Amino acid sequence: SNGSGYRITLVETGEYVQVNAPFTGEQTLVIDCGKQHCTVSGASADEAVTLASDYFELSPGLNQLSADNGTATVEWTERWL
């Protein structure tokens, strides 16, 4: 969505990743918590992740996430294959 930032929060712990960048609603933001890496439309945006951000881990089972300023699609991949 439009705005100057985007935050996704793991509700159970309060941990979040916030990306401060200008968004027009046309970009695709990817936050990879496993690799601790962020991209906006394919370009690295690691420098736009705030220092207070925590790349969080999802627990097995149900996890509640909150997305500020837009919508989110979450994809989870098992790291220990």
- The per-residue pLDDT for range 20-77, each reduced to its tens digit, is 999 988 899 999 998 999 999 999 999 999 999 999 998 888 899 999 887 888 888 7
pLDDT at 18 over 60: yes
Sign for the pseudo-dihedral over CA of 24, 28, 31, 37: negative
What pLDDT is stored for residue 20 in this prediction? 95
Residue 3 is predicted with a pLDDT of: 86
Q: What is the pTM of this model?
A: 0.88
- CA 78/CA 51 separation, integer angstroms: 27
Q: Where does 1-81 show beta strands of DSSP type E?
A: 2-10, 15-24, 29-32, 37-40, 43-44, 65-68
Q: How far is CA 15 from the centre of its chain?
A: 11
Give the residue-averaged pLDDT of 2-12: 92
Indicate the residue type of 36: Q
